[in-house]
């Protein structure tokens, strides 16, 4: 299995959201290394750097993780993994946090978000942070335009998702109207984002994303 698209977040450099407010907070990719987008004569054109370091929001998906086109994943099983930590909610121990994996089925400038997997609203432990995982298996094709699948969620070593504690559940919503064929620059089947929503507004709210990737066999 190989990684075909990913955020640059890692075990030493996560993307972190939190603080006051109860609206969804979107994790962003890290800025690219200096010169990563440079062109090389006879080898490649300069890359589009718009995605790297951009912060998505409820009204803009710039910075999303793009699912590759050119039929690379048409009628293929592929995997989406998001992992991180949240808590400890020391200043607001009764508050909750929900981590969601969402698909954007419209443009980056005018996104339409569809929740496909989530951990459900849970109260972080007071004393220490907890690790969380969303691991989804997706399958779709251009003929039907549908993307479906199932996922596993975990928090603090225990299974957890919006439906309770089942080990694996089907996606919360099927994605529709998808074409895996696009090949043009900045054209892609759909985008993926991870967001955190805190149940109460508190300055100590915090959640981090250490891994976000698409892989295929």
Convert the pLDDT of each residue in 111-166 to its tens digit. Answer: 999 999 999 998 877 667 899 999 999 999 999 999 999 999 999 889 999 877 78
State the pLDDT confidence band at 13, using cuts at 50, 70 and 90. Answer: very high
Tell me the whole-structure pTM to 2 decimals.
0.89
- Contacting residues for 63 by C-beta, under 8 A, at least 6 apart: 26, 28, 29, 51, 52, 53, 54, 55, 56
Q: What is the mean pLDDT of residues 27-33?
A: 81
* Alpha-carbon span 83 to 1, nearest angstrom: 18
* Alpha-carbon span 100 to 117, nearest angstrom: 6
């Amino acid at each position: 299995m190989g990684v075909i698209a990913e955020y640059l977040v890692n075990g030493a450099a996560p993307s972190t959201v939190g603080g006051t407010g109860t609206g969804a907070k979107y994790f962003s990719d890290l800025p690219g290394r200096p010169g990563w987008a440079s062109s090389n004569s006879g080898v490649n054109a300069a890359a589009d750097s718009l995605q790297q370091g951009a912060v998505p929001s409820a009204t803009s998906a710039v910075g999303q993780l793009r699912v590759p086109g050119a039929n690379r994943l048409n009628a293929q099983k592929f995997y989406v993994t998001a992992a991180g930590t949240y808590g400890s909610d020391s200043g607001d121990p009764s508050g909750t946090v929900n981590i969601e994996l969402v698909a954007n089925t419209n443009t980056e400038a005018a996104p339409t978000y569809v929740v496909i997997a989530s951990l459900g609203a849970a109260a972080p432990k007071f004393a220490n942070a907890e690790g969380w995982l969303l691991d989804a298996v997706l399958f779709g094709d251009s003929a039907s335009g549908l993307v479906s699948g199932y996922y596993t969620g975990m928090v603090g070593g225990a299974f957890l998702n919006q439906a309770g504690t089942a080990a694996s559940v089907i996606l919360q919503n099927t994605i529709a109207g998808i074409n895996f064929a696009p090949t043009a620059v900045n054209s892609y089947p759909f985008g993926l984002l991870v967001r955190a929503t805190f149940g109460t507004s508190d300055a100590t709210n915090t959640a981090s994303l250490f891994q976000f990737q698409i892989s295929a066999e």
